Amino acid sequence: MIAYYGCLWLVSLLNLAWCCFQQAWECTPGKEVPWNILSLFTKSGMLFLEAIYLFGFGFPLFIDSYDHPHHLKWGLWVVHRLVLTAVYGLILFMYQSKWRERLPARSAFYKYITIMFTLNALSLFACGLLGNGASFGFWLYGATIVCYLAFYLPLIYVTFLADFFQYDHHRCFYSLWHKRKICTWRMYITQR
């Protein structure tokens, strides 16, 4: 157990170093090799801890049957969904507080946060039901995961990328008109 906590502290310090050096090393010429090594050790350490957590402590990866839902597994998912719901809830709270000007002033971002908060709250509720042995939670959790996987990428596109890929007809028309005007002027000059 001491070795596990030692690995946990080491990986936590690697993650902290990764966060601190991200701005300084990630895109700096000459720092690619240290950045890649730090990223490799950080990711490897996280995977190692997850393997110890799953296989060493006996957490089941798959659902074997509906009769024994592995309450400990769903308790872990409750904590995971609780953190995500709290983060999205905090951002929603910020829209109603004095820190509103720190957030993007786009209604699409607010809709994104609202949808993600609702989806994570439903998933949290489903994990709580499963942790207490209610079989309805399987259906609800499965439905939230299907909705997340099906609609997450389109939601990201509509929220963050649709404005970037927007086709501006007026600018295109002006550009074509301007090019036509230059071509006409050049033809006029060459004919004289």
Residue 8 clears pLDDT 90, i.e. is over it? no
Taking the alpha carbons at both ends of the chain, their separation in whole angstroms is 91
A 10 A CB-CB count for 123 gives 24
Higher pLDDT, 14 or 180: 14
Alpha carbon distance 155, 109 (integer Å): 10
Backbone φ and ψ of 6, nearest 5°: -65, -45
Provide the pLDDT for residue 123.
92
Q: What is the mean pLDDT of residues 32-53?
A: 82
Q: What is the mean pLDDT of residues 114-118?
A: 93
Residue-wise pLDDT for 55-65, tens only, equals 776 666 555 45
A 10 A CB-CB count for 169 gives 8
Alpha carbon distance 31, 24 (integer Å): 9
Q: What is the mean pLDDT of residues 32-52?
A: 83
pLDDT category of residue 47 using cuts at 50, 70 and 90: confident
Alpha carbon distance 145, 123 (integer Å): 8
Show the beta-strand stretches assigned E in the chain. Answer: none
Residue 124 clears pLDDT 70, i.e. is over it? yes
Provide the pLDDT for residue 173.
47
DSSP state of 101: G
Higher pLDDT, 102 or 73: 102
Given a contact cutoff of 8 angstroms between Cβ atoms, the answer to whether 75 and 81 are in contact is no
